[in-house]
Amino acid sequence: MSKQMSPELEAVTKSAEIMPRMLLTIYAANGVIFRFVANDNQDLAFEGNTYISVEIKRGEIKTTVEGDKEQVSLTMSNRWQQWAAYIANNGTTLKYKKCVIQEVYLDHLEEGPVWLFEGILNSLKTTIAEFSCVVERDTVDFSQEGPNMDYGPTCQFIYKGADNRCRSTSSLPTCDGTVSACTERGNITRFGGHPSTPNQMVIRS
């Protein structure tokens, strides 16, 4: 898995003779994964996977004018036959697919990869010789910082959900979202509803 540099690896990188290798992983449709190692003279076996040696040019990380996205440009050779065939037949399906950029140091593979950038593919262009794209990611996650709120009498959070908004530690397997259920599970301080709001409101003229 990706991780930041350990103190040992950080010390190694200060040597002018040490050159990292960029790893590029593209998660295509239907579970197809492409793994590349940039600008090496041979493929790389790493963490149980084979990374195909391909010429890759990577741009600097830039922020869009609106300030809501970071982008990195990529240009890579189409010389690997399997990749070239996929691009020719399924290239457009790569749009918005996940892409991860990492680095490894060949003499210190046991330290694992160093994470550089992660995002989705956009602005795809292809010729017979090369494939180019932009990898972009949102810098502002409005769905996380300001989730849509419903003003109903029952809790709107998913019980023990992965979004970590409920945070219940109860051993009970389910919750119906009522105040009494939340109290029974010892999680009333995290109740995400508005019990004073009636289920129905009748307006009379």
DSSP codes of every residue in the chain: --BPPPHHHHHHHTSTT---EEEEEEE-GGG-EEEEEET-SS-EEETTEEEEEE-EEE---EE-TTSSEEEEEEEEE--SHHHHHHHHHHGGGGTT-EEEEEEE-GGGGGG-PEEEEEEEEEEEEE-SSEEEEEEEEES--HHHHS-----SSS--SPTT-TT-SS----S-S-----HHHHHHTT-GGG--S-TTS-S------
Residue 93 has phi, psi (to 5 degrees) of: -75, -10
The pTM for the full model equals 0.62
For residues 156-184, give the mean pLDDT: 83
Residue 144 pLDDT > 50, yes or no? no
What per-residue confidence (pLDDT) applies to 2? 41
Split at pLDDT 50, 70, 90, the class of 25 is very high
What per-residue confidence (pLDDT) applies to 145? 45
